[in-house]
Amino acid sequence: MEDLNMAELREIIPRWGGVSHAGIATFLRAPILEEVSTEELRARKVKAAVFGVPFDAASISRPGSSLGPRAIRNSTSGSGPYHFHYDVDIVKELNLHDCGDSFIALGDAKKTMENGADVASEILKAGALPIILGGEHTVTLAGTLAVDRVLKGKYGFIHLDAHLDAEKEAIQYFHGSQVARTSELEAFPCENMVLIGQRGTSNPKSHFQFVKDNGITCFTMYQVVDIGFANVIDQALAIATRGTDGFYLSIDMDVLEAAHVPGAQAFQCFGITTRELWSVLPKFGFNDKLVAFDVVEVVPAYDRSEMTAMTAKSICIELLAARATIVDKIKPPPVKRGGQ
C-alpha cells in the first residue's frame, strides 16, 4: 500500500480499506462538477446528477433543514457505490456527479427556487436525471419549474408527504404551497398529480378543498392502510403516467412514521414505515418515465444517530441503483426548442 499514489488510495476507501469519512463529502464520493452546464454534463456523459438546495427560510415548523443536503452527503460516507442486489456500481453506471448546491438568495424564496431551477434545467437539457436534496419542501419548485421550462409535453407529479402543501393564496412561496404552485405550471395537469400519506390535524380544510376542486388525487394514510401501500403506489403511477411524457417524484421525510425519522422537519405520527417505503422504491426507480426526484426536510439538529439523514440517503441510493440497471434503455424526455 505504501507504493500507491493518492488517486489509487482513494479508490481503496469504498472497498473498506481506508477511513470511510475521509476526503470531500460528495454524494457517494461522486466527482464534483462546480460549473454546471449542459455542455460539460454532456462531455462527461453524465446520466444522473445530484445537487442541494440548502434553504429553510420559508418554513413554519422546526428550522434547520438548510443543513439537510450536507447531512445527507455526509451520511453517504459509509456507503460504497456498489449495490449487491442489482450488481451495479451506481456512480460508474450513471456517471453520477455531484453539482454542489444552488445559490440561496437570502430572504427571497422565489428567486432561490429559480436559482435551483437553473441548475436542474442544465441537467435536464443534458438528458440526465436531476436529484435534488433539500432543504424545506419548497425546493420541489426548483425541480418542477425546470421541467416546465425545459421539457416538452405533460408530466405527472407524485408527492409523498404527511401534508398536502396546497396553500393557494396566504403565502405564495413556502413549504406548504409548492403543490399549489406546481399545479399552476403548464407542464403539470392536475389530473396527473397524486398526493400520498396525508394525516393528522396539520392539513387545513382549505387545502383539502383546493385538492378536490382541482381534481388532484389524494390517498390519505387511512386509504393507504385500507388499500395497501403497494397498491396505492401502483395506482399513483398509473395516474401520473397516463397520457404524460414522464413524472416527477417528491419525497418528504415526514411521510414516514415519526419514530423512524426524528430529524424530519415536520414529523407526524402514524406514517408509513421505512421498510414499506423501501419495498416500493423499485417501482419508481425501474420506471423509465421518472424525469427527476427530490428528497427533502432533513433537520440534523433533531436527528438522533443520524437516522433521518441515513434514511434519506438510502432512499436516493435505492432509486439510483434501480435506475442504473435500466439507464441504457431510457430515452431522455423531449426538450423544448431552444433548450438543446
pLDDT score for 202? 86
30 confidence band (pLDDT: 50, 70, 90): very high
Q: Yes or no: say if 160 and 252 are a contact pair by the CB < 8 Å rule.
A: yes
Give 256-297 pLDDT, tens digit per residue.
Answer: 999 999 999 888 999 999 999 999 999 999 999 999 999 999
Looking up residue 217, the CATH number of its domain turns out to be 3.40.800.10
228 domain-assigned: yes
Distance CA 81, CA 76 (A): 9
Least confident span in 20-29, 41-50, 85-94: 20-29
Pairing of strands 48-53, 129-134: parallel
Indicate if the alpha-carbon torsion angle 181, 193, 90, 127 is positive or negative: negative
Confidence at 43, pLDDT banded by 50, 70, 90: very high
- Whether the per-residue pLDDT at 103 is higher than 80: the answer is yes
Q: 7 lies in a domain?
A: no
Separation between Cα atoms, residue 200 and residue 192, nearest integer Å: 25
Whether pLDDT at 98 is above 70: yes
* Number of domains comprising the chain: 1
Q: What is the pLDDT of residue 165?
A: 82
Query: What are residue 173's phi and psi, to 5 degrees?
Result: -130, 100
339 confidence band (pLDDT: 50, 70, 90)? low
Residue 307 lies in a domain: yes
Does 18 map to a domain? no
A 10 A CB-CB count for 212 gives 11
Rounded to whole angstroms, the Cα distance separating 302 from 67 reads 11
pLDDT at 236: 98
Q: Which residues pair with 256 in a beta bridge?
A: 272
pLDDT at 173: 82
302-338 pLDDT tens trace: 998 999 999 999 999 999 999 999 999 999 999 987 6
What is the model's pLDDT at position 183?
Answer: 97
The residue segments making up the domain with residue 144 are 24-327
Residue-level pLDDT at 59 = 84
Q: Report the percent of the chain where pLDDT is more than 70.
A: 94
CA distance 271 to 280: 15
pLDDT of residue 23: 77
- Evaluate if residue 44 carries a pLDDT over 60: yes
Q: What is the pLDDT of residue 308?
A: 97
| pLDDT tens track for 197-238 | 999 898 999 999 999 999 999 999 999 999 999 999 999 999
In this model, does residue 62 exceed pLDDT 80?
yes
Mean pLDDT over residues 174-189, rounded?
A: 91
CA dist 165 and 195 (Å) reads: 10
In a domain, 335, yes or no: no
- pLDDT tens per residue across span 112-141: 999 999 999 999 999 999 999 999 999 999
pLDDT value for 15: 52
pTM to 2 decimal places: 0.93
The average confidence (pLDDT) of the chain is: 92
Answer whether residue 73 is part of any domain.
Answer: yes
Kindly report, residue by residue over 135-161, the tens digit of the pLDDT: 999 999 999 999 999 999 999 999 999
